[in-house]
Amino acid sequence: MDIGKLPNEILREKILRKIRKINEDVIVTPSIGEDCAAIKFDDEVCVVTTDPITAATKDIGKIGVIINSNDIASSGVRPIGITVTLLAPPNAKIEEIENIMDDIIKTCEGLNIDILGGHTEITDAVNRYILSITAIGKGKNIVKTGGAKVGDDLIMTGYAGLEGTFILANELYDKLIFKVDKHILDKVKKIAAVYQRFGGWTCCRQIWG
């Protein structure tokens, strides 16, 4: 199969259509374009999302926290905690693992997010680091990220494609410098750094009070 996410048609037909909601407290279930699930707890909603980092090798701790926190924040609730699964190849060094976890800890502290637990493992099932993070948030209401329709209002808080652009500039800087103006590459990294400092690429700044 082609590398990348499953095509929507295959995902819908082979996986999503087989999933049935079992508990009435679950109010948002998996669907195309929906980044988060939601569970009702009395008068509040618990929102959950998960995403792996597979394309990047640099700053994966920071990127992992931010993209998952962004998913929670874009649902209209405040991210409060994450769990972390880190799979490392047999040639991994403890210093590398420590650096990844240090980035996760530092990023979480900057966003007032707790690390709730996780799993760290050395395995020959991978040939490079794979980081998977699950983020949890809570609030009174949730904004679904799927189901957008013609005529809906779209609020954009930053640049389109900033996450992927930053990863490319960060990972391939030494190669891109011969094809792309250095000023442009440095600007991309600087813009991304500003968004990270304020809580993420999209809308993860602490605006929930």
Q: d(Cα 195, Cα 160) in Å, to the nearest integer?
A: 13
The Cα-based distances of 173 to 62, 164, 207 in angstroms read 18, 13, 33
pLDDT tens per residue, range 15-64: 999 999 999 999 999 998 888 999 999 999 999 999 998 866 678 998 89
Mean of per-residue pLDDT scores for the chain: 84
Bridge-partner residues for 3, per DSSP? none
Please name the helix (run of DSSP H) or strand (run of DSSP E) that holds residue 81, with its range, or none.
strand 78-88
Average of per-residue pLDDT across 97-101? 95
Does 205 have pLDDT greater than 80? no
Q: Model confidence at 188, in pLDDT bands (50, 70, 90)?
A: confident
What is the model's pLDDT at position 13?
94
SS3 158: coil
Average of per-residue pLDDT across 79-99? 96
Strands lying side by side in the sheet with 114-122: 26-28, 37-41, 44-53, 130-139, 78-88, 114-122
Q: Identify the CATH assignment for 8-153 out of 3.50.50.60, 3.30.1330.10, 3.30.1120.10, 3.40.50.10800.
A: 3.30.1330.10
CB within 8 Å of 48: residues ≥ 6 apart: 36, 37, 38, 39, 134, 135, 136, 137
What is the model's pLDDT at position 199?
45
Instruction: Please give the structure tokens belonging to residue 147.
Output: 């189901």
pLDDT tens per residue, range 102-147: 999 999 998 899 999 999 999 999 999 999 999 999 998 888 877 6
Average of per-residue pLDDT across 149-166? 74
What is the model's pLDDT at position 131?
96
Q: Model confidence at 80, in pLDDT bands (50, 70, 90)?
A: very high
Among 31-35, 44-48, 87-91, 160-164, the range scoring the smallest mean pLDDT is 160-164
What is the model's pLDDT at position 157?
67
Q: Which amino acid is at 160?
A: A
The single-letter DSSP state of residue 205 is S
Average of per-residue pLDDT across 69-81? 90
Q: d(Cα 135, Cα 64) in Å, to the nearest integer?
A: 10
What is the model's pLDDT at position 22?
95
Average of per-residue pLDDT across 72-86? 93
What is the model's pLDDT at position 208?
41
Q: Which residue from 85, 171, 150, 75 is spatially nearest to 123, judged by alpha carbons?
A: 85
